[in-house]
Structure 1
Amino acid sequence: MKIRHRLSLQFTVISGIILTIVFVLIYFLSVQYVRNSFYKLLQVRALITAQVYLEEDELTKKKFREIEKSYRQSIPDESSNIYDAGNNPVFIEKIKHDWPPSMLDIVRNKKIHRFTYGDEYGLGMFYPDNQGDFVVIITARNIAGAQQLQYLLWILVIMFCVALLIIFLMGQWYASRALQPVKSINRQVKMIRSSNLHMRVQQGSNKDEVDELASNFNELLQHMEQAFEMQRSFVSNASHELRTPLTTIIGEIEVTLHKERTKADYIQTLRTVLDESEKLKIITDGLLQLTRVDVILTEANTETIRLDELLWEIQEHWRHKTPPLTIDVQLLELPEDAGELTIRGNRSLLLLALQNIIRNAFKFSYNHPVSTTLTAGKEGLVLSVSDQGIGIAPAELEKIFLPLYRADNAHAFSGYGIGLSMAQKIFEIHRVHVTVSSTLGQGTTFNIFFPRSQKI
């Protein structure tokens, strides 16, 4: 079921429940009102009956005729009974009811007593007179009231059905109008394909949830577009890196097979093929490692790591190389609590990521000293790795983390563009943010931010 129909039905059901409660309340209040009005009428009739038959000698002739005229305007199926203090009937009109003495005593105690008798309403009234104390009991059917209530019931039922129909149609119109922006987004989304990911969903100006949905979807499209661009770049770079050694291998073999060669020529060809095959193996192993880096960190495969100790370990590693390489380690704004220098993560993966960045720093600076600075702040730890190498062009800064991507000025150096991609993936799974700043011919700085609220 579409949202428009579901909203209309839900709105109709809710309105129907409210209308039902209101109409039922109206009906029962009307029933109570009609019943009270009829009892008041019976009370008036009881008083008139008593005056007509008990006080004829005490009223003026004119007053008596007015009361008698009112008495003649009887109620349908009205029956009047008057009893004296001894429970003896002194006046019976139409029908004599065998009212038990207990009923008469209740009337004497309560003065006015309302009751029902079958489908009739009854009222008993205590009437003191100079001739004695009497009990007047009137019974009658409220035919007019029943007709009014039945008429009211039909009106309420018809109004309920008509109101529900109107509410449903208005709900359809309102839901359709309210969901119009969503329909517009759906139409625009249907037009977006992998070939036109640059398109964006048009946002409104209401700043509501629909606009938020459109904004989030546009952000998703932007990430998808970047992912597709990265994929195209990866395929292009991978094709280039794999094609070069394959072309060399095929060319060497074709030239060697063109004519009979000496033993030395065959050995040289095999050596060339072996070298290029090793390059292919290095590239494929690097790509395989990239896929294995996508792990999920848990308490089982992580530990508490002190970054300053990790830097000393890396410094010692490069110091024992041949030739030895220098890493300058600086610790700034150190906290009093050494525990604030710790992070939670996988030690081997973080060591691999940092070593890849420092290895590149040495390689592209012709093994000049590399400086590292660890700064402790309120929001976390910042590790800066700086070199004095060839630098990176501004247009290529965003691409250096792509697999198999190499900057234009890096082709003179050995490598395949895998180390930084692997480091970036390791930092991502540790929720570590990396920024890069560089100047051509002067050097590059990697700023690695470890948040203090880091959770695994």
Structure 2
Amino acid sequence: MKIRHRLSLQFTLISGIILTVFFVLIYLLSAQYIQNSFYKLLQMRALVTAQVYLEKDELTKKKFLEIEKSYRERIPDESGNIYDQYNQGVFIEKTKHNWPVSLLETIRHKEVYRFSFREESGLGIYYPDNQGDFVVIVTARNTAGIQQLQYLLWILIIMFFVALLIIFLMGQWYASRALEPIKNINRQVQKIRSNNLHMRVQQGLNKDEIDELATNFNGLLQHLEQAFDMQRSFVSNASHELRTPLTTIIGEIEVTLQNSRSREEYVQTLGTLLGESEKLKIITDGLLQLTRIDANLTEANSELIRLDELLWEISEYWRHKTPPLQLRIQLSGLPEDASLLCIRGNRSLVTLALQNIVRNAFKFSYNRDVSCLLSYSDNSLTLSVSDKGIGIAAEDTEKIFMPLYRADNAHTFDGYGIGLSMTQKILLLHKATITVSSIIGQGTTFNIFFTPAGKF
């Protein structure tokens, strides 16, 4: 079922429930009003009856004629009885009902008493007079009131179904109007394919949920476009990196097979083939290692790592290299609580990530000193690694984390463009982020933002 029909039916159901409640209340209140009005009419008839039969000798002739005229305007099926203090019927010889004494006593006690008898309504009043104390009872069938209620019931039923039909049709129209922007989005999405990911869904001006949907979908398209670009770039870079050693291997073999060679020439050729094969192995091993970093951190494969101690270990590692390299470590704003310098993660992976950054800093600065600053502020640990090397062009700063990507000014250095990709995946695994800022010819700074173990 389409959303338009489902919304219309749900809206109609809710409206039907509300209408039912209101119509039932209208019917019940109307029935109560008609019944009360009829009882008031019976009370008036009881007073007129009493005045006609009990006050005749005390009223003026004109007044009595007016009351008698009112008495003649009877209610259909009306019946009246008057009883004295001895519970005997007086003034009216023929009685329609033989009322029990208990009813008469109840009327004397309450003075005005309403009751129902069979299909008729009845009312009794206590009427004291100079001739004695009397009870007047009037009964009648509310034929007009019953007809009014039946007419009202049919009107409410017809109005109920007509209203539901109108509500359903209006719901269909309103749902169609409300969902029209989604239809437009669907039509635009159907035109987007892998070869035109640059297209975007048109956003509205209402700043509502549909506009938010279009915004989020455009964001998804942008990420997909970037992913496709990265994939194409990765394939291009991988092809280039793999093709170079393969081309060398094939060329060496073809040249060697053209003529007979001396033993020294065969040894030289095999050495070249071995070197190029080792390059292929390094590249494939690096790519394979990249795919294995996607594991989840658990209590079993993670531990608390104190970053300042890890930095000193890395510095010691490079100090014992040949030739020794200097990693200058600075600490700033460190907290008194040493636990805030700890992160939870896999020690070997974190070490590998930081070593990749430090190694690049030394490599691209021609082994000059590298600065490393660890600072703490606002419940965050920031590690900055800076060098004074060749720098990175602005258009390359977002691409250096792509597998096998190398900037134009980096091709003169050894490497395959795998280290930074591996570093970024390791840091993402540890819920850390990395940014880079660089100036060509002046140096590069990598900033890594860690969350302490207490906030992890």
The alignment's TM-score, normalised by the length of structure 1, stands at: 0.96
Deviation at 1:270, TM superposition (A): 2.3
CA contact (8 A) 1:80 1:93 kept: no
Partner of 2:414: 414
Which deviates the most, 268-277 or 211-220? 268-277
Partner of 1:374: 374
CA contact (8 A) 1:344 1:455 kept: no
- SS of 2:90's equivalent? strand
Partner of 2:400: 400
Taking the aligned partners of 1:129 and 1:444, their CA distance within structure 2 comes to: 116
Taking the aligned partners of 2:335 and 2:232, their CA distance within structure 1 comes to: 46
**Which residues in structure 2 correspond to 1:60-139 (within 5 Å)?**
60-92=60-92, 95-139=95-139
| Amino acid across the alignment from 1:204 | G
Partner of 1:226: 226
Taking the aligned partners of 1:93 and 1:271, their CA distance within structure 2 comes to: 142
Deviation at 1:44, TM superposition (A): 1.1
Deviation at 1:300, TM superposition (A): 2.8
Taking the aligned partners of 1:75 and 1:206, their CA distance within structure 2 comes to: 66
CA contact (8 A) 2:304 2:453 kept: no
- The one-character-per-residue Cα deviations of 1:98-136 (angstroms, maximum 9, x if unpaired) are 211111111111111100001000111111122211111
Taking the aligned partners of 1:140 and 1:343, their CA distance within structure 2 comes to: 92
Taking the aligned partners of 1:333 and 1:89, their CA distance within structure 2 comes to: 109
- The one-character-per-residue Cα deviations of 1:331-382 (angstroms, maximum 9, x if unpaired) are 1233333333222222111110000011111112222221211122224122
Matched, 1:289 2:289: yes
Partner of 2:428: 428
- SS of 1:375's equivalent? strand
Partner of 2:247: 247
- The one-character-per-residue Cα deviations of 1:146-199 (angstroms, maximum 9, x if unpaired) are 000111111111111111111121222222222222222222222211111111
Partner of 2:187: 187
Partner of 1:307: 307
CA contact (8 A) 1:42 1:138 kept: yes
Which deviates the most, 30-39 or 435-444? 435-444
Taking the aligned partners of 2:220 and 2:421, their CA distance within structure 1 comes to: 22
Identity of aligned residues (%): 74
Which deviates the most, 159-168 or 419-428? 159-168
**Which residues in structure 2 correspond to 1:143-158 (within 5 Å)?**
143-158=143-158
- SS of 1:179's equivalent? helix
Deviation at 1:298, TM superposition (A): 2.4
Deviation at 1:67, TM superposition (A): 1.5
Which deviates the most, 92-101 or 211-220? 92-101
The alignment's TM-score, normalised by the length of structure 2, stands at: 0.96
Taking the aligned partners of 1:29 and 1:341, their CA distance within structure 2 comes to: 75
- SS of 1:392's equivalent? coil
CA contact (8 A) 2:11 2:171 kept: yes
Partner of 1:276: 276
CA contact (8 A) 1:383 1:449 kept: yes
CA contact (8 A) 1:431 1:454 kept: no
Taking the aligned partners of 1:106 and 1:397, their CA distance within structure 2 comes to: 100
Which deviates the most, 331-340 or 184-193? 331-340
Which deviates the most, 37-46 or 333-342? 333-342
Which deviates the most, 269-278 or 191-200? 269-278
Matched, 1:40 2:43: no
Q: What RMSD, in angstroms, separates the aligned Cα atoms of the two structures? A: 1.7
What stretches of structure 1 of length at least 5 have no aligned partner?
Answer: none
- The one-character-per-residue Cα deviations of 1:398-437 (angstroms, maximum 9, x if unpaired) are 1111100111121121111100100011111222221212
**Which residues in structure 2 correspond to 1:350-365 (within 5 Å)?**
350-365=350-365
Taking the aligned partners of 1:276 and 1:362, their CA distance within structure 2 comes to: 25
Matched, 1:30 2:26: no
Partner of 1:346: 346
Taking the aligned partners of 2:192 and 2:454, their CA distance within structure 1 comes to: 37
